[in-house]
Amino acid sequence: MVSLEELKWLVSHEITQRREEGYNITEIEKRFRERKQEKNLSELEDFLTELEASRLRPDFPHKEPSDLPAIRAERPEGPRRIGLKNLSDRELLDKIYGGWLGRCAGCLLGKPVEFLSKEQIEEWLKRADAYPLQNYFPPIREPPEDAPEWLKNRLKNHRILLGQMKVMPRDDDTDYTILNLHVLESSGLNFTTMDVGKAWLTTLPYYMVYTAERAAYRNLVNEFNPPETATFMNPYREWIGAQIRADLWGYVTPGRPELGAELAHRDASLSHVKNGIYGEMFVSAMLSAAFTTNDIEEIIKIGLSEIPQQSRLAQAVRDVVGWSKEYDDWRDAWKKIIEKYGHYHIVHTINNAALVLLGLLYGEGDYERSITISVMGGMDTDCNGATTGSILGVILGAKNLPEKWIKPLNNRIESCIIGYNNSRISELAKQTFKLAKETLSKEAE
């Protein structure tokens, strides 16, 4: 049973979501905003019914299907399979391990400043004489009296600050990477979207999932099936939750971006639609490509080739690539991102994907520069640092990642996934390597 307050929240977000998807909801929104009296449950349910019946505007310029055949019909040309150039098993394992380590370190970097603005992040760093960012976020032992309350509160979480880490702490950005490893090991390469749902219900605690994933989890408990799990009372269905679940699919499909995107689609469809799905497909395909080249623009182009070319996400990707050529300083490109895409919620797929690209393009293949730029942009910083770090980790391999970023992890990761807490990151990489080899073997048959 949804409470009155929760239903108000859902209707408000659903209005925003429908507007962003291009639906004609002007009159519905006007009536909702203008009605000052307290709305009861029945009225709110009526608003939801009206929103669900709304139609796409005829002038909406984007084509954004959610089913895989229709997505593939709208994507541009691309290399669906790429040769691995005699990549040895040792090199393949090192790249997979690099992806795991790079993801963990990037996530840990962004964790202390999650949801802070670019300006707040800069204030923290400047107060600590650590701007621009070149290491994990520094503690300030005795913050001055004039320090803002948000900074004092963030400084209390010592175990994720520079010099205090002893392990990769539990985070949903890494929980899902572990969970998807479990899905493949238990259900195989032909897993279904419902197999993912069952894995959530049996291994992932409800209170450790958020926004779109919590809505989908609730729908699973109420015996909805995909794709309805993604759409019923879920106004977060294009937010970042699916994009952060992409990595394992890329790790196990080296040189197979089409297959990586397909696995990502099966996973994302449990909780997301349209650009929410595309975010996971895009990142997975980029990771598949990262095993074959260190050319960042080529990796982005291959990722782009697996999503609809007339989608809002594809347009944002093209915009950021263009701005990176126009401006020498990432901060100028960041301003353009905020001007055009800043209206999205701070945990939406599109604006956060843009910040990942900012780090990739301006980092120019340097791990530290890439993750720090993505994180200094603000918004969902742990997600963006993790995704950027994962891609660079695959490109560079574990052996080439800077020790100062990797050593604090102590090769250990905490997780709420049942049976996986306090795992060794190297062991997770070995399990992933085994699955990648099996995938490549089946692809060759």
**With contact defined as beta carbons under 8 Å apart, do 330 and 221 qualify?**
no
Is it the case that residue 36 has pLDDT exceeding 70?
no
43 and 94, same domain (yes or no): no
Q: What is the pLDDT of residue 70?
A: 98
Q: Which two tokens stand for residue 84?
A: 């691995």
41 and 178, same domain (yes or no): no
Expressed as residue numbers, the domain containing 274 is: 68-111+168-444
- Taking the C-alpha atoms of residue 257 and residue 80, their distance in angstroms, rounded to an integer, is 6
74 and 47, same domain (yes or no): no
Per-residue pLDDT reduced to its tens digit, 221-266: 999 999 999 999 999 999 999 999 999 999 999 999 999 999 999 9
Q: Tell whether 130 is covered by a domain.
A: no
Report percent pLDDT > 90 for the chain. 94
Coil, helix or strand for 239? strand
Q: What is the pLDDT of residue 85?
A: 86
Tell me the Ramachandran region of residue 237: left when phi exceeds 0, alpha when psi lies from -120 to 50, beta otherwise. alpha
What value does the mean pLDDT take over residues 306-312? Answer: 98
Q: What is the pLDDT of residue 1?
A: 63
- Taking the C-alpha atoms of residue 420 and residue 423, their distance in angstroms, rounded to an integer, is 6
Separate counts of helices (H) and strands (E) for the chain = 22, 2
175 and 305, same domain (yes or no): yes
- Taking the C-alpha atoms of residue 385 and residue 391, their distance in angstroms, rounded to an integer, is 10
Q: Tell whether 117 is covered by a domain.
A: no
35 and 99, same domain (yes or no): no
Q: Tell whether 140 is covered by a domain.
A: no
Distances in whole angstroms, Cα of residue 425 to Cα of each of 252, 316, 409: 16, 33, 9
9 and 104, same domain (yes or no): no
Q: Which two tokens stand for residue 395?
A: 């490109």
Per-residue pLDDT reduced to its tens digit, 75-108: 999 999 999 988 999 999 999 999 999 999 999 9
The secondary structure of 105-146 as a DSSP string is: HHHHHHGGGTT--HHHHHHHHHHTT-PSP-SSPPP-SS--TT
Q: Which two tokens stand for residue 178?
A: 């572990």
> What CATH number is given to the structural domain containing 372?
1.10.4080.10
107 and 8, same domain (yes or no): no
Q: Which two tokens stand for residue 28?
A: 């519905």
Distances in whole angstroms, Cα of residue 8 to Cα of each of 32, 39, 142, 173, 271: 10, 8, 42, 29, 21
DSSP 8-state symbol, 196: H
308 and 267, same domain (yes or no): yes
Per-residue pLDDT reduced to its tens digit, 329-377: 999 999 999 999 999 999 999 999 999 999 999 999 999 999 999 999 9
Peptide bond into 169 cis (omega under 30): no
75 and 210, same domain (yes or no): yes
- Taking the C-alpha atoms of residue 392 and residue 99, their distance in angstroms, rounded to an integer, is 7
Burial 361-381 (b: 16+ CB within 10 A, else e): bbbeeebbbbbbbbbbbbbbb
Q: Tell whether 430 is covered by a domain.
A: yes
Q: Tell whether 136 is covered by a domain.
A: no
Q: What is the pLDDT of residue 262?
A: 98
Per-residue pLDDT reduced to its tens digit, 381-427: 999 999 999 999 999 999 999 999 999 999 999 999 999 999 999 99
| 285 closest CA partner among 172, 182, 183, 394 | 394
Q: Tell whether 387 is covered by a domain.
A: yes
- Taking the C-alpha atoms of residue 22 and residue 18, their distance in angstroms, rounded to an integer, is 6
**With contact defined as beta carbons under 8 Å apart, do 13 and 49 qualify?**
no
Q: What is the pLDDT of residue 33?
A: 87
Coil, helix or strand for 399? helix
- Taking the C-alpha atoms of residue 87 and residue 317, their distance in angstroms, rounded to an integer, is 29
Q: Tell whether 157 is covered by a domain.
A: no
Q: What is the dihedral of CA 430, 435, 440, 445, to 10 degrees?
A: 140
- Taking the C-alpha atoms of residue 58 and residue 428, their distance in angstroms, rounded to an integer, is 48
| 370 closest CA partner among 352, 356, 349, 353 | 356
Mean pLDDT of the chain: 97
Coil, helix or strand for 168? strand
By DSSP bridging, strand 412-413 and strand 423-424 are antiparallel
- Taking the C-alpha atoms of residue 218 and residue 377, their distance in angstroms, rounded to an integer, is 33
Q: What is the pLDDT of residue 5?
A: 87
181 and 100, same domain (yes or no): yes
**With contact defined as beta carbons under 8 Å apart, do 101 and 335 qualify?**
no
Number of domains in the chain: 2
| 95 closest CA partner among 254, 285, 281 | 254
Q: Tell whether 407 is covered by a domain.
A: yes
- Taking the C-alpha atoms of residue 316 and residue 336, their distance in angstroms, rounded to an integer, is 11
Please compute, for residue 88, the number of CA atoms within 13 A of its CA located in the half-sphere on the CB side.
4
30 and 82, same domain (yes or no): no
pLDDT bin (cut points 50, 70, 90) of residue 39 is confident
340 and 376, same domain (yes or no): yes
